[in-house]
Structure 1
Amino acid sequence: MSLVRIAKVSRWYGNVVAVNDVSMSIGPGVTGLLGPNGAGKSTLITMMAGFLPPSTGSVTLDDVPIWRNERAYAQIGLVPETEAVYDTLSGADFVRANAELHGLANAGAAAATAIATVAMEEAAGRRIATYSKGMKQRIKMAAALVHEPSVLLLDEPFNGMDPRQRLHLMELLRKMGAEGRTVLFSSHILEEVQQVATHIEVVVSGRHAASGDYRAIRTLMTDRPVLYRMRTSDDRRIAAALIGDPCTTGADLDAEALHVQVADFERFSKLVPGLARELGIRLHEVSPTDESLESVFSYLVGGKR
């Protein structure tokens, strides 16, 4: 199991600050690096891959600096956002060349295994120039996996993929995370992160905005109550009981449901079942109306600049 740690890292280009005092730890499983375009995601991934030194701070793999550390490079697989392929080569030759660069004893067999992993066997003999954007993404993935790295870094890997390719890659990332590999992928598309990642790191304008699963991130926003929709056998009575408790900050009742603003989710989740039993009220629905990652991301981008 591998742990990538970023400690108080900043990176600037002249007067432009791309990453500003970021700290985070990326461990086994699938982590989504979420943020809008220009947030600093690619810069962070490039530093984690060992291709760029931080201006200040440290980036380590299992507590050893990654920059100019050949042993660390051998444990890392990178799928960059840029094409980073040789169009004149076939897919098989490109992946085999990467295997040879890693000094693998049986480069041909390793390349064949990696190509099969990304389901590119049929197209492997064709020149990369003939590939679609999604196919180029998959052959880059094979090249990154050819030496069986313990850490896999992917920068916007779903760009250009059709729905079938996206589903296949999502399943592959979940499988590698379940095997204990440290997998990190960046995205500005919320649905991708929500479907694949078990852990989320959010960066906004070069700063680290939040960390956790998206529900945990949402509960950190104590200044913005979560809105819950409730349907019960007696909405009016349970609303009156809930309004008297400090875990709620307001309630609205309409013809379809009761809408409750919850400031303390942990207390609310324990209080509601007890109140229902005490008052003899049946609970038909208790669900958040804004617990989506879209809501979390919109809040962080709008409120954390």
Structure 2
Amino acid sequence: MSTASTVSATPPAAPPRAQASVELRGVSRWYGNVVAVNDVTMTLNAGVTGLLGPNGAGKTTLLHMMAGFLAPSRGEVLVGDAPAWRNPSVYRHLGLVSEREAVHSFLTGWEFVLASAKLHRLPQPEAAARRAIGLVEMADAQHRRIATYSKGMRQRTRVAAALVHDPQVLLLDEPFNGMDPRQRLHMMDLLHVMGAAGRTILFSSHILEEVEQVSGTVQVIVAGRLAASGDYRHIRRLMTGRPHVFTVSSSDDRALAVALMGQPSVTGVELDGGGLTVRAGDYGAFTRALPMIVRRSGIRLHRLLPADESLESVFSYLVES
């Protein structure tokens, strides 16, 4: 990234108006008998917060209620001390990038962002559009039709349209989808700078590493419930410190089972016809100890597979613990 592009991508300091927070008070949302969000309470203040959870956990429903697109079935959603639902005035200081692409491909990037500026009735829409396009590094391609853009370019153009009115609250649903590594790094830097400038930013993701690189605070949602909340180090410890299950087969499963039972990291071993099922309380300690055990015992290891490493199982542990 050149020095010039870095300078142009630096947003101005936060406006002197009051910083807007987002508050959810006992919020639930259901569709018939299906509960999408269940009794969620959280407060988002200035800075970057990651909304982490597997696909289908309720992240998009939460974001849409914060943006005033959906009414909560129960509870209250406030943006800057005002209700989000049926309150168009919140859009003066709120920007949203939804997961679903809603971009007219026949428009150029410039026309799309300029239209957003005009819809906000900004006094200088052209200047606002230029600034927003510069923030996401799309100036070189702004006069091409969106139909010719890659997915990452379309995503950045949608972010520019959400930033055009310089919002104090920015909500992004899976914003890094389709971006190449350089684009992702630039977008992460941009979110860092805006959060440090006093804006309230929430972005959703199902990838812990994305959240770790961008946000200091993490809200974990699983099956519509708020499962955990805190800084990413705390969430990482909860996830990696959970019990792990491995399927192991070797040249002598019975001897290996006996050797494993003496390890502090192992909480249980089951022997069946297909090998061993090993339960470990410490993932790192077990995976470090196993090679030494088989080497010392003269056992040949045929297979070692984590049996419960699906994303859903990782998040579900947070709900159950």
Q: Any conservation in 2 of the 1:10–1:21 contact (CA below 8 Å)?
A: yes
Give the Cα–Cα distance (whole angstroms) in 2 for the partners of residues 148 and 303 of structure 1. Answer: 36
Q: For 1:37, which of 37, 52, 55 is the aligned residue?
A: 55
Partner of 1:104: 122
Query: Residue 158 of structure 1: CA displacement?
Result: 0.4
Distance 1:106-1:213 versus aligned 2 partners, 3 A rule: same
Distance 1:88-1:218 versus aligned 2 partners, 3 A rule: closer
Query: Residue 297 of structure 1: CA displacement?
Result: 8.6
Give the Cα–Cα distance (whole angstroms) in 2 for the partners of residues 9 and 100 of structure 1. Answer: 33
**What's the Cα RMSD here?**
2.5
Partner of 2:301: none
Partner of 1:284: none
What is the identity, as a one-letter code, of the residue corresponding to 1:110? A
SS in structure 2 at match of 1:2: coil
Distance 1:134-1:58 versus aligned 2 partners, 3 A rule: same
Distance 1:83-1:220 versus aligned 2 partners, 3 A rule: closer
Give the Cα–Cα distance (whole angstroms) in 2 for the partners of residues 93 and 104 of structure 1. Answer: 15
Q: Any conservation in 2 of the 1:66–1:73 contact (CA below 8 Å)?
A: no
Q: Percent identity?
A: 62
TM-score, normalised by the number of residues in structure 1: 0.74
Give the Cα–Cα distance (whole angstroms) in 1 for the partners of residues 238 and 314 of structure 2. Answer: 12
Give the Cα–Cα distance (whole angstroms) in 2 for the partners of residues 171 and 92 of structure 1. Answer: 23
Partner of 1:177: 195
Q: Which region of structure 1 is more displaced relative to structure 2, 48-57 or 139-148?
A: 48-57
Give the Cα–Cα distance (whole angstroms) in 1 for the partners of residues 310 and 55 of structure 2. Answer: 18
Aligned residues: 243
- 1:225-264 matches, within 5 Å, as none
Query: Residue 214 of structure 1: CA displacement?
Result: 2.4
Distance 1:136-1:156 versus aligned 2 partners, 3 A rule: same
Partner of 2:210: 192
Query: Residue 303 of structure 1: CA displacement?
Result: 4.8
Query: Residue 299 of structure 1: CA displacement?
Result: 4.2
What is the identity, as a one-letter code, of the residue corresponding to 2:317? G
Give the Cα–Cα distance (whole angstroms) in 1 for the partners of residues 21 and 95 of structure 2. Answer: 14
SS in structure 1 at match of 2:132: helix
Query: Residue 156 of structure 1: CA displacement?
Result: 0.2
Q: For 1:69, which of 75, 79, 87 is the aligned residue?
A: 87
Give the Cα–Cα distance (whole angstroms) in 2 for the partners of residues 296 and 180 of structure 1. Answer: 33
Q: Any conservation in 1 of the 2:54–2:312 contact (CA below 8 Å)?
A: no
SS in structure 2 at match of 1:304: helix
What is the identity, as a one-letter code, of the residue corresponding to 2:316? V
What is the identity, as a one-letter code, of the residue corresponding to 1:146? V
- 1:1-305 matches, within 5 Å, as 1-217=19-235, 299-304=314-319
For structure 2, list consecutive stretches of 5 or more residues without a partner in the other structure: 1-18, 244-263, 267-280, 283-308
SS in structure 2 at match of 1:111: helix
Deviations 1:199-218 (A, max 9, x none): 00000011100111123346
Q: Any conservation in 2 of the 1:217–1:296 contact (CA below 8 Å)?
A: no
Give the Cα–Cα distance (whole angstroms) in 2 for the partners of residues 183 and 216 of structure 1. Answer: 20
Deviations 1:256-292 (A, max 9, x none): xxxx98xxxxxxxxxxxxxxxxxxxxxxxxxxxxxxx
For structure 1, list consecutive stretches of 5 or more residues without a partner in the other structure: 226-249, 253-259, 262-293
